[in-house]
């Protein structure tokens, strides 16, 4: 089976390929020669994932999945949420995003947060969504060198390590993205598509 992943993010693509393995042949937008930015105008992670999948499906006519992920912090009323990638500005700078989060949490005791991923799959013109959530907390400072985005300040419940202190294999056992992708692969198996 072949699927397009509607993303230019190489870190995300590597993570997906590691989780899926050889079960599905994944094509990135770069491999298809599609270099345009996909607009992200929606107000929720779910709607953004659906929009991105539909956008690439219309452009290519092929089966596609798109994901959107948000970091939701309780004491910041769910921010950065759908704006996680561009929290500190449209240039999508992870270091500035982390600085802004840590600065806003400086005097807050409640550091509860969750990562939420929604994958929207379009297969044979049918759209199905899959959700993955990991609860945790925001650390006081960056910890670890691995991962990307907010991984260095997110510590999942039941762990002493941040996502950035874990290997990709360790992270993929518990991450929001792997929960959602595993739900998608299960759906594909159940429908004899895999």
CA distance 94 to 106: 18
Which residues are identified as catalytic?
68
Specify the pLDDT at position 192: 82
CA distance 101 to 159: 21
Tokens coding 58 = 């219309």
| CA angle in degrees (0–180, nearest 5) for 81-86-92 | 140
Each of the 194 residues of the chain gets a pLDDT tens digit; together they read 889 999 887 777 877 887 777 778 888 888 888 888 888 789 999 999 999 999 999 998 999 999 999 999 999 999 999 999 999 998 889 999 999 999 999 999 999 999 999 999 999 889 999 999 999 999 999 999 998 999 999 999 999 999 999 998 899 899 999 999 999 989 988 988 77
CB 67 within 8 A of CB 7: yes
Specify the pLDDT at position 16: 80
Counts for the chain of helices (H) and strands (E), in that order? 5, 7
CB 65 within 8 A of CB 120: yes
Specify the pLDDT at position 173: 92
Q: Which domains does the chain have, with CATH numbers?
A: 2-190 (3.90.950.10)
Specify the pLDDT at position 40: 79
Specify the pLDDT at position 21: 74
* pTM as predicted: 0.90
**Which residues are registered as beta bridge partners of 121?**
65, 128
Tally of CB atoms within 10 A around 18: 14
Using N-to-C axis directions, what is the helix angle for 10-20 and 176-190, rounded to 10°? 50
């Amino acid at each position: 089976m072949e699927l397009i992943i509607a993303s230019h993010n190489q870190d995300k693509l590597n993570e997906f390929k590691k989780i899926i393995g050889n079960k599905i042949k994944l094509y990135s937008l770069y491999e298809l020669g599609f270099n345009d930015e996909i607009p992200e105008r929606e107000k929720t992670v779910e709607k953004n994932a659906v929009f991105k999948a539909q956008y690439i499906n219309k452009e290519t006519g092929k089966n596609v999945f798109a994901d959107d992920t948000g970091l939701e912090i309780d004491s910041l009323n769910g921010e950065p949420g759908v704006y996680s990638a561009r929290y500190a500005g449209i240039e999508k700078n992870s270091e500035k995003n982390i600085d802004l989060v840590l600065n806003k949490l400086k005097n807050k005791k409640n550091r509860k947060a969750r990562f939420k991923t929604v994958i929207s799959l379009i297969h044979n013109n049918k759209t199905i969504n899959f959700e993955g959530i990991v609860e945790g907390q925001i650390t006081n400072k960056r910890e670890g060198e691995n991962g990307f985005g907010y991984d260095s300040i997110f510590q999942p419940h039941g762990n002493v390590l941040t996502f950035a202190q874990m290997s990709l294999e360790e992270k993929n056992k518990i991450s929001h993205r792997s929960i959602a992708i595993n739900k998608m692969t299960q759906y594909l198996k159940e429908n004899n598509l895999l």
